[in-house]
Structure 1
């Protein structure tokens, strides 16, 4: 299977898939994936997260001349529950042109995605330590978040201080903009989420369709309506999961083990 990456994702993806399904991952590096978009905003990503992953997989398959392709794509934003904490969502897409199926592994997890605008080196040091530097990389720009001048791959205190002084000297406002480098090879926290997405993919690939035996019989939809534990009214909580085969279309609705939803999740009891 072809895996197109230039940021070391094969280090977590390949051994997990090899152990789970005996997959031999072929690393493809003959294409600069930064052309498809960067987290440092040099190049904006075109399309959605899953579309970007599919494109990477297809390019890797073409370059390696293989009918199987694999690629991942991440995104960062506020958590959907409180909106207060940064969240990393990873998608790992598996494309099989022999069976004509696509299976997607997904995972989400905490991240240290953050930034700081400052003229003070001591503040920059505090920020760096709080984000896990030097184990986790940092990106530096002059002036503000959207300045096109940028230094990446910073992973030592010496190079960070040098980049900080350079940015302050280049900026008309004397400020350096620091942010966590969330490219996979510079972000151990993101690598953990990619590993979780790989495990999710492996579980799905190990679940065959009960009709045609195609791997990847997976949840495609959740059915809401789990009754409230107090009033019995249907809530927005899921009561069943719909599993579907990507090849033959066979689907099954499986009831969840939970029989009731907490009253706190009921629009009648807790409007």
Structure 2
């Protein structure tokens, strides 16, 4: 079994980024959960960068569509922050929402944090996911709106209100108190031809504590990867990059779609190590022959 170098739980080993400053472009308070994680585990200082409205790259309220993939958006924000700060190190995070990968019944939040190091010429990505706090309701009744707000975690979780339907261009964001919510509800109903207000969670990071928790977990994943050094070139980011499938079924012995080994690869020199699975047999319930 491969032992990755520089495990982040070993406090006697200094990170190669110890004492470094890294640019973070955000306007939604993400530094509050990212900076403490990186300061403790990677010993670097997060430098908050302003001067660009990151909402221009896309919003979850659908008024500005995001161009490109989640990773591309995070990478673009990191590059912008580095340019504004004149830095060779930069990070940025980007989230996405969709059905959960297990049942497809719940909304799921995936967060990516991209670390770019132009000195070493590497990119490392921290990833985490979890159940999302993203609810919505179309109603003409203030009583129903109140019930919805409690369900959506208000006022700790902010809300967004629109007239008429979920894609109406008229919008009020960042609502975090009952008086403002009631006023926005009345405004939306009066503006709507159907007399309805559409309410939903504001999932910008500073308005959504549930999402902030997932961002913090992505920061911890990033820190772990940054402290995993390549056995060949000692660059950070030596991590699992691929799987080799074909773990044999415990019952019939036929190869399954379960991984029989993982491939760990360096993001800089591409050195890789194949790490066999600790499991020697796959459960029959996951065998396409025994359990078609």
Report 1:25-174 matches (<5 A). 25-174=46-195
Partner residue of 1:206? 227
2:124 and 2:222 in contact (8 A); partners too: yes
Comparing 241-250 with 167-176, greater Cα deviation is found at: 241-250
Q: Please tell me whether residue 257 in structure 1 is matched to residue 281 in structure 2.
A: no
Runs of 4+ in 1 over 2 A off after TM superposition: none
Distance 2:216 2:247 in 1: 32
String of CA shifts for 1:151-191, please: whole Å, max 9, x gaps.
00000111111111110100000110011111000000000
SS in 2 for 1:210: coil
String of CA shifts for 1:51-86, please: whole Å, max 9, x gaps.
000000000000000000000000000012211011
String of CA shifts for 1:86-113, please: whole Å, max 9, x gaps.
1000000000000000000000001121
Q: TM-score scaled to structure 2, two decimals?
A: 0.91
How far residue 229 of structure 1 moved from its aligned partner, in angstroms, is: 2.0
Distance 1:232 1:129 in 2: 52
Partner residue of 1:196? 217
Distance 1:24 1:245 in 2: 24
**Structure 1 residues without counterparts, runs of 5 or longer:** none
**Structure 2 residues without counterparts, runs of 5 or longer:** 1-21
Distance 2:191 2:244 in 1: 55
String of CA shifts for 1:183-219, please: whole Å, max 9, x gaps.
0000000000000000000000000000000000011
2:245 and 2:256 in contact (8 A); partners too: yes
Comparing 180-189 with 246-255, greater Cα deviation is found at: 246-255
SS in 2 for 1:234: coil
Report 1:229-248 matches (<5 A). 229-248=250-269
Distance 1:235 1:164 in 2: 54
SS in 2 for 1:153: strand
SS in 1 for 2:45: coil
Distance 1:258 1:113 in 2: 37
Distance 2:250 2:150 in 1: 46
Please, which of 203, 225, 237 is the counterpart of residue 182 of structure 1?
203
Distance 2:236 2:93 in 1: 19
Q: Please tell me whether residue 3 in structure 1 is matched to residue 24 in structure 2.
A: yes
Q: TM-score scaled to structure 1, two decimals?
A: 0.98
Q: Please tell me whether residue 22 in structure 1 is matched to residue 35 in structure 2.
A: no
2:38 and 2:219 in contact (8 A); partners too: yes
Distance 2:243 2:46 in 1: 32
SS in 2 for 1:8: coil
String of CA shifts for 1:204-240, please: whole Å, max 9, x gaps.
0000000000000011112221222222221112221
RMSD of Structure 2 on Structure 1 (CA): 0.8
How far residue 241 of structure 1 moved from its aligned partner, in angstroms, is: 1.2
